[in-house]
Structure 1
Amino acid sequence: MKLFRKRPYISLEPSTVSEEDVQKPVVPEGLWKKCPNCKKTIYSKDLGEEKICPHCQYNFRISAEERIHLIVDYGSFEEWNQTMAIENPLDFPGYEDKLAKTKEKANTDEAVVTGIAAINGQKTVLCVMDSNFFMGSMGKIVGEKLTQAFERALELKLPVVVFTASGGARMQEGILSLMQMAKVSAAIANHSAAGLLYVTVLTDPTTGGVTASFAMQGDIILAEPGATVGFAGKRVIEQTIKASLPEGFQSAEHVLQKGFIDRIVPRKRLRSAISYLLAIHSPEEMGLEL
């Protein structure tokens, strides 16, 4: 045995191997997620379909498509007004280009998806906002789609379930965006006057003009755990009043304590909770003739 073999020659010259020849490990995009709450890194598959952190139970934001998949009976969703012509009413610079890019990235045409569906056999009109599209901001098309959804629900004598997720009114549409608050509210009032049920589910975030209108007009208002619910942003309020706000301010738990919402429901239980509410408020159950 050659216990004292001469070591192979090691060159001290700079490496002649190009960077292209060096194979670096490739990590597929989206394979890992970092929880915004507990800051832990999570294997994406461990989040499950509900997209809930296994460590702290934080609810990740999900798209309208993912929400519909979780809530409705398979194959029961029929979308309304999938495409509506979007204008640039204020000639806001770059708005059309930004809309086009956002549509491609978010894989949806607007910040809300509306239609008719069944939840555990209970037929309902469903509206789901998507924070991936302009942070769920409310513009003319969002207001029009919601208004038409309530009007058709009134014609069909059906309840309405709305999942809110919005940063507020869309600044690129100015006062025309704010006008949607009154328009949607009027449609809700007509729907309510007919004795029909309206359920809102507040998800993260629900703020601005959406909070100041249809998000808080539900007969029953539910919220997901930890969802941000408020009007003006925390930093704006602190700068205005020149004081710090308490911990947890504008969280779903805080507004529940103050009586603004009725109940916080974990994401995994939302489907059964909503179907139960629809069932006990059905005309047959309540002995009503619509």
Structure 2
Amino acid sequence: MTDPLGWDGYAESLARARERTGADESVVWERAKFGGHEAVTIRFEFGFLGGSVGTGTGALLEEALDQARSHRLPVVSLLSTGGTRMQEGVPALRQLQRIARGLARLREAGLPHITVARQPTTGGVWASLGADADVVLAVPGAQVGFAGRRVRPRRYADDPAYTAENQYAAGYVDELVADDAIADRLESWLGLLTGGSRHRPAELPRALGTLDPAPDGWRAVQRARSAERPRAGAYLDDYFDTRVTLRGGIDDGAVCGIGSRGGRAIAFAAQTGTATTPGGFRSATRLIRLAARLGLPVLTLVDTPGAAADPAAETDGAGNAIAELFGTIAAAEVPITTLVIGEGGSGGALAFCSADRIWLTPDACFSVIAPELAAGILKRGHEDVPALADALKPRPEDLLALGAIDGIAGPEPVTFTR
């Protein structure tokens, strides 16, 4: 049913598009290799009626996704589209549901999907095949968004909100990639997304900071808060040979991604020493769900004074975001290893933690509440804060004695057998 509405002149438009592009439809799919990694590749041809999706396109997309599942291959979609084909009406629009069903089955099969948003990527294809991908790459300067240039209000025709750069800044695009670098970046991403080892935990990083124990709880807290202490960036640089980042927004207190260590892919979610916003917790949730589906072990690095507690965080659903991360870690069927590298501040820190493998560096601490906040609750003065810090027993040695953690990191990595 290629002309369900009997649209005047549509058959002729299809014939011209086929002659101009040499393709039967706006989508062509094939099995292709990026380096040593084979994938089912879906390519949109914008010259074919603006890369629009009709009923025939939907059938091709479903076929491509089915073949990927049958042959256990990842999917790469190279988008360049204006959305749904109006000449085929609602039958064409409903192809978006067909795409969503195919992607759901791909996820159930544990296979990754990478999309590349090229110029332009708008409409229902962006809101289905594009934005729903596990990893979203985009070409700088491309129009990327749900509302295409000809359908949004004229005053917004050239608004930067509808660009790849803005989608990247907002956290909806993971990486901006120039046209001539797409193949190389796809090779890197595919190597990481398909290199999982579901049953072997990530190796514990070595401690990079001070190895001597703190003499008391207050000095442990002060040392964990020190600007001189190594932060997540230093640990990730030391631990991984290479790594990529999955975006979650700007300044949300967390960085998430996948790295390679000794040829092995490991997912990571790391707090960066500031209060973690709801967006930071959601980024970690996205990362761990992806890792669980692809069979990647997870490393989490904990370093936060706690969850953001301002009105904006509450409005953005801080409690919901934290609860979602707690539930995701509890349900994950891949091993998760946690190293607390700085201040472990209450539930905002614990939400990033493994349920069965938590270690601290010697210059870190972990507490049910900050000692200053404890003083406020108990109506104590500032002079009582050091004593309260000690009473909360936040030092690694205290926590190990309490049975609240599994160990204290040293100058060498630790390998876990299970």
Question: Quick one: structure 1 residues 236 and 89, their matched pair in 2 at CA, closer, same or farther if it must change by over 3 Å?
Answer: closer
User: 1:5: which partner in 2?
Assistant: none
Equivalent AA in structure 2 for residue 157 of structure 1:
R
Mapped pair 1:105 → 2:20: yes
User: 1:222: which partner in 2?
Assistant: 137
What is the distance in 2 between the residues matched to 1:235 and 1:93?
22
Q: Deviations over 1:19-77 (max 9, x none)?
A: xxxxxxxxxxxxxxxxxxxxxxxxxxxxxxxxxxxxxxxxxxxxxxxxxxxxxxxxxxx
Equivalent AA in structure 1 for residue 68 of structure 2:
A
* Ranges in structure 2 where 5+ consecutive residues have no aligned partner: 200-294, 296-418
Mapped pair 1:287 → 2:197: yes
Mapped pair 1:129 → 2:129: no
CA deviation after TM superposition for structure 1 residue 233, in Å: 3.0
Question: Quick one: structure 1 residues 102 and 159, their matched pair in 2 at CA, closer, same or farther if it must change by over 3 Å?
Answer: same
SS at match of 1:237: coil
* Ranges in structure 1 where 5+ consecutive residues have no aligned partner: 1-85
CA RMSD of aligned residues (A): 1.8
What is the distance in 2 between the residues matched to 1:116 and 1:245?
37
What is the distance in 2 between the residues matched to 1:272 and 1:126?
15
CA deviation after TM superposition for structure 1 residue 217, in Å: 1.0
User: 1:257: which partner in 2?
Assistant: 169
User: 2:257: which partner in 1?
Assistant: none
User: 1:94: which partner in 2?
Assistant: 9
- Runs of 4+ in structure 1 off by over 4 angstroms are 243-247
TM-score (norm 2): 0.46
Mapped pair 1:213 → 2:128: yes
Equivalent AA in structure 2 for residue 113 of structure 1:
V
User: 2:81: which partner in 1?
Assistant: 166
SS at match of 2:140: coil
What is the distance in 2 between the residues matched to 1:245 and 1:168?
17
Aligned length: 200
Identity, in percent, stands at 34
CA deviation after TM superposition for structure 1 residue 230, in Å: 1.3
What is the distance in 1 between the residues matched to 2:149 and 2:142?
14
Question: Quick one: structure 1 residues 148 and 268, their matched pair in 2 at CA, closer, same or farther if it must change by over 3 Å?
Answer: same
CA deviation after TM superposition for structure 1 residue 105, in Å: 1.3
Partners of 2:82 and 2:148 within 8 A in 1: no
What is the distance in 1 between the residues matched to 2:12 and 2:198?
50
User: 2:32: which partner in 1?
Assistant: 117
Equivalent AA in structure 2 for residue 287 of structure 1:
S
TM-score (norm 1): 0.65
What is the distance in 2 between the residues matched to 1:139 and 1:236?
18
CA deviation after TM superposition for structure 1 residue 156, in Å: 0.7
Aligned pairs for 1:63-102 (under 5 A) are 87-102=2-17
Question: Quick one: structure 1 residues 127 and 236, their matched pair in 2 at CA, closer, same or farther if it must change by over 3 Å?
Answer: closer
